[in-house]
Amino acid sequence: MREQLRISEPVVYVFPGIFPAVLLLLLAGLVAWGYQAIQPPPPKICGSCDGPPVTASRIQLRDGRHLAYQERGVSKDVAKIKVVFIHGFDVCRLDDLSGQELVEELGIYFVSYDRPGYGESDPHPSRTVKSQAFDIEELADQLGLGTKFYLIGYSLGGQIGWGCLKYIPHRLAGVTLLAPASNYWWPGFPSNLSTEALYQQPTCDYWSLRVAHYAPWLTHWWNTQNWFPSLGATRPHVLSREEREVMAKLIAKGASHREHVRPQGEYESLHRDLNLGFGTWEFDPVEMENPFTGEEVYAHLWQGDEDTLVPATLQRYIADRHSSWIRYHELAGSGHFFPHVDWMADTIVKTMVNGKQ
């Protein structure tokens, strides 16, 4: 009788709870990695032991922060017109619009400053639209610009101009907003209008702006990762001959001081700028009342009708809502860089100081 071989079954040792523990450990590691990945690097404060040196003129604000600034034009002691210029996104105090001929003709003093986190101005993690308006007021006071001064804000700097109109209108002799960036989530915009304008943005910008609004804690990671297109990664400009000439001029100009824009890091300058500009505001410029009631003061809003960065449709809506105190100037065939056309700076300033004209 043949003996049958018996093959024993393999013995499996089961340790209760080990798999849930491993999964929990892996999940904890993934969360820790994700948390570290989205943390922005610490800023390199100008003048600190590991930061860039201070080379600009600066004032110290009441809260201890410093604002760097640059003065141009005639001396403020003899100036007839005093103008504060607010720079836009990814530029600094060295970018302004003052033309030498007009400066001497009208006796104009210009001061441009680095907004918080840009250039050599200290970062301000808790900054708001209101705090930036008060930064400008304190800058004017410390520089002795008098009870009233003119204000020009360009692009994202134009957004700060809305804050000045809201919080310090009594200090403003006149205001000019040049292609001021519109927040697509200002509730006063008709939803179909703002949604359509947002969808017109390139895909990379569309998602970066949505991240800044809905998940600001992800802004640094989103704009530094390489998995998805982030802000400005691609921009299909269709430029006119005039715009190409302006762009070439800006590139040549920017090459000489590009290192002055974000020496303290991209997060404190660019990314916080996006979070504030496209986050939830404490007021709605679309619904603002006339800040100059009883005064012969006007705000001027300039816009190129072919601007691919700031949609003209939103500017038209705001200007129409505030037609009693905003003078709207739309430039046919111009894009976002129209203020840098050689003759535009003089035209913009003359229009502002002439009030209604």
> Looking at residue 110, what is its pLDDT?
93
Region 160-175: mean pLDDT is: 96
Least confident of 52-61, 129-138, 164-173, 345-354: 345-354
> Looking at residue 13, what is its pLDDT?
56
Q: What are the phi and psi torsion angles at 289 (to 5°)?
A: -85, 160
- CB environment 290-325: b (16+ within 10 A), e (fewer): bbbeeeebbbbbbbbebbbbbbbebbbbbbeebeeb
Residue 30, pLDDT above cutoff 70: no
Locate the DSSP E strands across the chain. 57-60, 66-73, 81-86, 108-113, 149-154, 172-178, 299-304, 326-331
Band the pLDDT of 6: cuts 50, 70, 90. Answer: low
Region 151-171: mean pLDDT is: 95
Residue 234, pLDDT above cutoff 50: no
Residue 233, pLDDT above cutoff 50: no
Region 117-128: mean pLDDT is: 93
Residues 6+ apart with CB under 8 A from 197: 182, 184, 311, 313, 314
Pick from 78, 84, 277: nearest CA to 175: 84
Region 243-271: mean pLDDT is: 78
Region 225-240: mean pLDDT is: 62
Q: For a pLDDT cut of 70, what percent of the chain falls above it?
A: 83
Quote the mean pLDDT of the chain.
Answer: 85
Q: What does the pLDDT look like over 58-102, one tens digit per residue?
A: 999 999 999 999 999 889 999 999 999 999 998 899 887 766 677
If one compares 336 and 245, the residue with the highest pLDDT of the two is 336
Residue 109, pLDDT above cutoff 50: yes
Q: What does the pLDDT look like over 293-315, one tens digit per residue?
A: 777 788 999 999 888 889 999 99
Q: Judge contact between 161 and 340, C-beta under 8 A.
A: no
> Looking at residue 35, what is its pLDDT?
59
> Looking at residue 1, what is its pLDDT?
47
Q: What are the phi and psi torsion angles at 8 (to 5°)?
A: -75, 145
Band the pLDDT of 357: cuts 50, 70, 90. Answer: very low
Residue 251, pLDDT above cutoff 50: yes
> Looking at residue 312, what is its pLDDT?
94
